[in-house]
């Protein structure tokens, strides 16, 4: 909340908003400027900003976020209760002054700050899930690449040739990583331009993370094939592991 008034009304509001009875409902924090409060709301640190300014029409203003309507409603109800009480005391003061004319004040002004651009949509969640699953299912490429180049008839010919096995594994791994990264780039482009998916502004970080996961996925596929010594058995193992790893790595199904 913002309260830069040194008047009796400002002191009364300060005393009300910091009452112990309200501590279980709200967590008040005093700040210096309205702009600071709006930034806190946009960053989802707080649900609402209460402004007490005697120069405002009605003295009180609630700035709320559309991200948590329930929290804003609670704050609005509390401030509305305070406004009603303040009006009652003001009316009693006028009665004692023998002035029986009453003026109705709209002591609460509400303003909404939208954060809809920051809320992930369904297509955003789906795009992230597909991104993670494409990377993880890339392990199947590595599984069959090693099965063909090491355990099949072609693999027997390669092993009898002067080609070092380390070079063969590295070459197959690089090919799989490049294939996965091409699919990642296509997914990012299609999700963004065709469906409006929002991956944020840190695309280089996303690509670097995707590359790291592609390397891990490729190693996983090689391990599955080497452990089972059969491409089809490795495939069955990966079909179990990939959905689990997708969930653990942030995919939302």
Q: Which tens digits make up the pLDDT trace of 134-171?
A: 888 888 888 888 887 777 666 666 666 676 777 777 88
pLDDT of residue 182: 92
Q: What's phi and psi for 52, nearest 5 deg?
A: -110, 115
Mean pLDDT, rounded, for 111-137: 71
Q: Lowest mean pLDDT: which of 98-107, 182-191, 241-250?
A: 98-107
pLDDT of residue 98: 45
pLDDT of residue 155: 61
Say how far apart CA 196 and CA 127 lie, in whole Å: 10
The 8-class DSSP code of residue 150 comes to I
Q: Is the pLDDT of residue 247 over 70?
A: yes
- Residue % of the chain over a pLDDT of 90: 3
Say how far apart CA 25 and CA 12 lie, in whole Å: 19
**Where do we find the tokens 């840190």?**
202
Are residues 26 and 1 in contact, defined by beta-carbon separation less than 8 angstroms? no
Say how far apart CA 119 and CA 164 lie, in whole Å: 52
The three-state secondary structure class of 2 is strand
What ranges make up the beta strands (E) of 33-159? 48-52, 60-65, 108-113
Provide the residue ranges of all domains of the chain, joining segments of one domain with +: 2-118, 122-248
User: 73-119: per-residue pLDDT in tens?
Assistant: 888 888 777 776 655 444 444 444 444 444 444 555 555 555 455 56
């Amino acid at each position: 909340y913002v309260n830069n008034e040194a008047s009796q009304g400002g002191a009364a509001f300060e005393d009300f908003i910091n009452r112990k009875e309200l501590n279980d409902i709200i967590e008040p924090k005093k700040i210096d400027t309205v702009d600071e409060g709006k930034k806190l709301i946009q960053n989802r640190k707080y649900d609402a900003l209460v402004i007490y300014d005697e120069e405002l029409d009605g003295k009180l203003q609630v700035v709320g976020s559309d991200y948590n309507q329930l929290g804003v409603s609670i704050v609005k109800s509390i401030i509305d209760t305070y406004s009603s009480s303040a009006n009652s005391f003001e009316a009693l003061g006028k009665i004692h002054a023998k002035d029986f004319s009453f003026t109705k004040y709209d002591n609460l002004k509400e303003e909404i700050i939208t954060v809809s651009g920051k809320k992930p949509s369904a297509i955003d969640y789906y795009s992230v899930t597909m991104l993670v699953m494409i990377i993880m299912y890339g392990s199947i490429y590595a599984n069959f690449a090693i099965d063909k180049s090491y355990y099949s008839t072609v693999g027997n010919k390669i092993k009898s040739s002067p080609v070092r096995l380390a070079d063969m594994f590295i070459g197959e791994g690089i090919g799989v990583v490049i294939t996965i990264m091409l699919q990642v780039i296509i997914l990012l482009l299609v999700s963004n331009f065709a469906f409006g998916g929002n991956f944020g502004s840190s695309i280089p970080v996303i690509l670097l993370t995707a590359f790291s996961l592609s390397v891990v996925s490729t190693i996983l596929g090689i391990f599955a094939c080497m452990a089972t010594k059969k491409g089809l058995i490795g495939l069955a193992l990966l079909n179990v592991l990939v959905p689990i790893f997708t969930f653990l790595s942030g995919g939302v199904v």
